Amino acid sequence: MKRTATRLADGRELIYYDAHDDAVRDAFDRRPLPPATSVSEVRHNPLLDEHVGYAAHRQARTYHPPADQCPLCPSREGRPSEIPAPSYEVAVFENRFPSFGGGTGRCEVVCFTSDHDASFADLTEERAALVLHAWTDRTADLADHPGVRQVYCFENRGAEIGVTLGHPHGQIYGYPYITPFTERALRAVAAHKARTGANLYDELLAAERADGRRVVLATDHWTAFVPHAARWPYEVHLYPNRRVPDLRALDDAERAGFPAVYLELLRRFDRIFGEDAPPTPYISGWHQAPFGIDDRADFALHLELFTIRRSPGKLKFLAGSESGMGAFVSDVLPEAAADRLREVATDK
C-alpha cells in the first residue's frame, strides 16, 4: 500500500492511499483559495461534566450540491474539487469546515471511492482493506497531534441521518477531550475491575458468544452481535475476539479478516427492510481508547453500526425521553433484530 501526502491550495493536508506502490499522485490543487481558517470553541458543562463544541463557520458548508458539482468527486477540466487527481482509490483531507481545528482537535474527511454513486457496501474487499489501512494510519498520526485526546473514525450514510454530501465518505474526528460515551464506559470498566478483578468488555463478549441468540456473524477473529440492551432498532457491535485498545493494535490476521465481515454486515443492513427498500441509513463508527490514560489497555476496540429506521418508511426519532432525559425506549427487541440480520445473510 502507498501513502502520498500533499497540500491543497489553502494549506490543508491531503493524503492519497493506494493499494499498489507504483501509483503516481502528482496533480496539484490550483484553485484560488484563501488560507484555511476555522473558528471553533469548546465549552465545558459542569453540571453534566461534558464538553460542547461550537463551530459557527459550518453554517456556510456545502449543502446537497448536484452530483456534477460534488466536491468529493475527482477534479476534471473546468470543475476542480477537493481532490485534485482525475481519479483516486481512497483519499483523506482536512475538512474545510471542521467542527474542531487548530489547537482544539482536528477533523478530516475520508473518501472511500471516486465513484459518486457507490456505497461502502459496494466496495471490494481489497478496497475495504485500504480504508482500514487509512483509518489506522490516521489514528497513528492523530495520536501525536497536539490537543487530540481521542480518535473516532465514522461514517454517516443517508439523508435521514443528516448527510449533506451524497458521495460515499466518512469522517475522522480527533477530539480535544474524551467523549461522554467513552468516559461512561471507562468508569464502568474501572468499577467492574475493582469489584471483580475481571475485564467488563471481555465478559460481555464472552457472554454474547456463549448465549448466541444475538450473534449475527462470527469468525475466528471477529464477532458481530446485537447488544443485550441495544438502544437503536437495529444495532450491531463488531469486536475483534482479542481485546486491543485501538486500530493500531490489530494483527495481520485480524486486518485480513475484517473486510469480508464488515462488508457482509453492511449488505445485510441494506436488506433488513426488503430488497426493494431504499438504502438503509446508518451510522458506523470505531470506538477507540483515548490517549494518555492509565487504564488504556482495559479498553476494547469495537465498531458500532446502527440505523434510525425502525420499519419500512418509519424512523426512530429521539423525542422527549431520549433527547430530554437520555432515556432510550426502543421499538425492536434485540433478539428480533438479530434474527432478522441472520435471515438476510448473503448466503441464504
- pLDDT tens-digit readout, 134-171: 999 999 999 999 889 999 999 999 999 999 999 999 99
pLDDT at 64: 78
Read off the pLDDT band of 346 (50, 70, 90).
Answer: confident
Average pLDDT over residues 71-95: 96
Instruction: Identify the structural domains of the chain with CATH numbers, from first to last.
Output: 2-175 (3.30.428.10), 180-343 (3.30.428.10)
Q: CA 339, 345, 347, 348 torsion: positive or negative?
A: positive
Average pLDDT over residues 275-299: 96
- Tell me how far CA of residue 84 lies from CA of 14, 27, 88, 117, in angstroms: 10, 6, 9, 19
Separation of alpha carbons 67 and 225, rounded Å: 36
DSSP 8-state secondary structure symbol assigned to residue 61:
S
Average pLDDT over residues 77-104: 92
Helix %, strand %, coil % for the chain, to 5? 30, 25, 45
Active site members: 169
Residue 42: exposure state from Cβ atoms within 10 A (0-12, 13-18, ≥19): middle
pLDDT at 59: 67
Q: CA 72, 109, 254, 22 torsion: positive or negative?
A: positive
Task: Tell me how far the alpha carbon of residue 282 is from its chain's centroid.
Answer: 10
